Structure 1
Amino acid sequence: MIRLLAVDDSALMRRLIGEVFAGEADVEVTFAKNGLEALALLPELKPHVITLDIQMPQMDGLACLDRIMIEHPCPVVMFSALTGDGARETLDALSLGAVDFIPKPGGAISLKVDVFGPLLVEKVRSASGARLGGTHRLAERVRLKTGGTALAGRPLGRPRSVAAAARTRLSPVVDDSVERLVLIGSSTGGPPALDAVLAPLPADFPWPIVVAQHMPATFTGALATRLDRLCALSVREVVRPMVLEPGTVYIARGDADLIISRRSGALAALPTPTSAAHRWHPSVDRMVDSALEHVSAERLIGVLLTGMGDDGAAALSRLKAGGGRTIVEAEETAVVWGMPGALVRSGGAEAVLPLDQVANGLTDLAGRS
């Protein structure tokens, strides 16, 4: 039985959440009207998953999440507004330890329950199996247990440097061509994982990097802005055709797909409408397959990070079979080992690395030591 704690100050939203899970025999829902009430319930309830609204009176969702992750760590799915402020708050929530988010329906909420309901059930089920890193905010948890009172504000922790991580060396790609490309796919738990992979890379990293992170369009711009602030590399959201350049990370726009093509003979990233042939968007499979149409597999590196489902596994298996290189996040660090696990099971994973070693692996494969 999955014990779900749903925290929302809206009586209508609580009623709709109850209706959504009424037909799910393996989910038991308890409700809280605000963050303070939720915190009071945690010691006895010990929920397996929490859904948490961001905008609430008395204690907002971010302050509540901060306390949850220190006092009673538990997989949390945030309800997020589809606005610029909502996107920034959601990324803050993911950095604080939330494992996923779901856009909160607006307007006539009851009319959207047929779309919202199945997605919410899927998110909660996935979160119930999510892995919380054992070291996540460990110092603050220890301080609390030993009588300390200082709690974190809203940290945006920078990952360890490449030099600080344990090295797992991979032989570099031997290639004098300028047309080389790194392709990264991620989903649930992806934004903090992208922090850890991209922030340690040097500004002169010699290959362009293209990222497909499953997110709505409102959120991918905020993600690119945040990563650009954290990284030595330049990070840009692909909102129009862009020629690919070394030292730059290209984030696929949400609610669309991204394909690799050519513009005036040069490799370029193009936003394109979603394809019904692919379930998740921006599609990792579609991005990788489009790259294989224009660049030989030997000149490509594919990376698959945390996420539910199997997006990317088929195309990256084809990339590896053609002579390309692949890196997969290891199960012990992935929030959800769905996408990486699917690639491992298909035989398409060359290197399976803990998250803090993925940047090292990329650096090695790109020919830098």
Structure 2
Amino acid sequence: MIRLLIVDDSPLMRRLLGRVFAAEGDFEIAFARDGAEALEKLAAFEPDVITLDVHMPGMDGLDCLDRIMLMRPCPVVMVSSLTEAGAGITLQALELGAVDFITKPERAVSLEIDTLAPKLVEKVRAAARARLRGSLRLTERVRLRSGLMSRAPAPIPRKRASAPATKRTIKAAPSTGLVLIGSSTGGPPALDAVLSRLPADFPWPVVVAQHMPGSFTGPLAQRLDKLCAITVTEAAYPMPLAPGHAYIGKGDADVIVSIRGSSPMVMAAPSLPEHRWHPSVDRLVDSAMQHFPSERLIGVLMTGMGSDGAQTMARLKEQGGRTIAEAEETAVVWGMPGELVRRGGAQVVAPLEQIADRIMDLVEGS
């Protein structure tokens, strides 16, 4: 049985979510009406996974998440709105340690819950199996347990200091190749860890397919741009590919590489039904292989459930391209990179903190 704690101040939302998971037959469910009650049940119920509403009276979702990660780290799936403000708060939650998020429907939730249920259950199941970084806020946890830190909720820093850019320099001709990155569950913090280590003069463009709603990818790009030496932007419309730039595919669509005249471009494209998750990593890699020689492409597959990207990156390796899979010990969910490894499609398997250096090694060796 999976022990699930549902935290939401809405009685309707608690009832609907409870019904969805009770129907699965292998969830033991407890409920909390607010953050304070959630913390009380953290020790008593010992959940395997938590769904946590972002907006609650008193202790809000971020403050509650902060205390969960200090008192008893547990996989948490945030329940967020689809608004841009909701996206910003959700990205903060992912930085604090949340594994994933689900978005409330724009229409009445009671009318949409049956449609959302399969993906909701899949996300929560994946979160229950997720790997939390053992180092996550370790010093603060030790201080709390030793009585050196108050148990009262502490103010949460709403902005992070920019990560220092790597001092490594790259010797490679600009714009002669392309880096393709795919990620899903656990992806935003992983993208931060990789992109923030690339120098401002990184010679190849980077295109990212991160599974996310359309209202989230713009704030994600803005957040990463503040943390990275390279320029990070959302590929919401056709843009020329430029060195020293990373392009985040717009959510609820796909991101593809194309050629206009003689110039390589990145652009959003309407999502195709044969791809389950969007932006599709498979479609991104396939489009790049149509316009770049395989040996000028580097595919990177990081944390995420499912297998998106594994098939095309394995084919890329077969045709002379280079591929990197995130190692199991650092991936929040080792679905996508694990499938690439199982297919024999990973030239390099590396923990998250080494991926940027492996990318730079491959670019220099081109």
TM-score scaled by length of structure 1: 0.94
Q: CA RMSD in A?
A: 1.8
What stretches of structure 1 of length at least 5 have no aligned partner?
165-171
Aligned equivalents of 1:302, 1:129: Cα separation in 2: 26
Counterparts of 2:364 and 2:313, CA distance in 1 = 21
- Candidates 268, 288, 300, aligned match of 2:285: 288
Q: CA–CA distance in 2 between the matches of 1:205 and 1:303?
A: 16
Q: In structure 2, what is the Cα distance between the partners aligned to 1:176 and 1:109?
A: 52
Once residues 158 and 50 of structure 1 are traced to their aligned partners in structure 2, the CA distance between those partners, rounded to angstroms, is: 30
In structure 2, the partner of 1:326 is 323
Deviation per CA, 1:214-245: give whole Å up to 9, x if none. Answer: 00000000000000000000011011110100
| Partner AA of 1:156 in structure 2 | R
Distance 2:162 2:34 in 1: 31
Q: Is residue 156 of structure 1 aligned with residue 160 of structure 2?
A: yes
Residues 1-369 of structure 1 aligned to structure 2 (within 5 Å): 1-149=1-149, 151=154, 153-154=156-157, 156=160, 162=166, 178-367=175-364
Give the whole-Å Cα distance in 2 for the aligned partners of 1:321 and 1:3: 43
Gaps of at least 5 residues in structure 2 are none
User: Structure 1 stretch 112-121 or stretch 316-325: which is displaced more?
Assistant: 112-121
CA distance in 2, matches of 1:356, 1:325: 19
Helix, strand or coil for the counterpart of 2:364? coil
Amino acid in structure 2 at the alignment position of 1:32: A
Question: Looking at both structures, which has the greater relative contact order when contacts are Cα pairs under 8 Å and sequence separation is at least 6?
Answer: 1
Secondary structure at the counterpart of residue 317 of structure 1: helix
Contact 2:172 2:364 in 1 (8 A): no
Provide the rounded CA distance (Å) in 1 between the counterparts of 2:177 and 2:207. Answer: 11
Residue 291 of structure 2 aligns to a residue in which SS? coil
Deviations 1:111-142 (A, max 9, x none): 10121211211111000100001101101101
Amino acid aligned to 1:198: L
Deviations 1:238-286 (A, max 9, x none): 1111010000000000000011100121110011000111111000000
The count of aligned residue pairs is: 360
Residue 89 of structure 1 and its aligned partner are, at CA, apart by 0.1
Secondary structure at 1:363 match in 2: helix
Q: Which residue type is aligned with residue 125 of structure 1?
A: R
AA aligned to 2:218 is: G
Q: Note closer, same or farther for the CA distance 1:301–1:294 as it changes in structure 2 (3 Å cut).
A: same
TM-score by length of 2: 0.95
Q: Is the 8 A contact 1:260 1:270 kept in 2?
A: yes
Change (3 A) 1:163 1:43: farther
| Range with bigger deviation, 333-342 or 178-187 | 178-187
Post-superposition Cα deviations, 1:190-219, rounded to whole Å, max 9, x if no partner, equal 000000000011000000000000000000
Deviating 4+ runs (over 4 angstroms): 157-164, 174-177
Distance 1:158 1:136 in 2: 18
Shift of the alpha carbon at 1:162? 4.9
- State the Cα distance separating 1:152 from its structure 2 match: 6.6
Provide the C-alpha distance between the structure 1 equivalents of 2:27 and 2:229, rounded to a whole number of angstroms: 44
How far has the Cα of 1:160 moved from its partner? 7.7
In 2, Cα distance between equivalents of 1:158 and 1:98: 21
Instruction: Report the Cα distance in structure 1 between the residues aligned to 2:188 and 2:160, rounded to whole angstroms.
Output: 12
CA contact (8 A) 1:259 1:269 kept: yes
Where 2:50 maps in the other structure, the secondary structure is strand
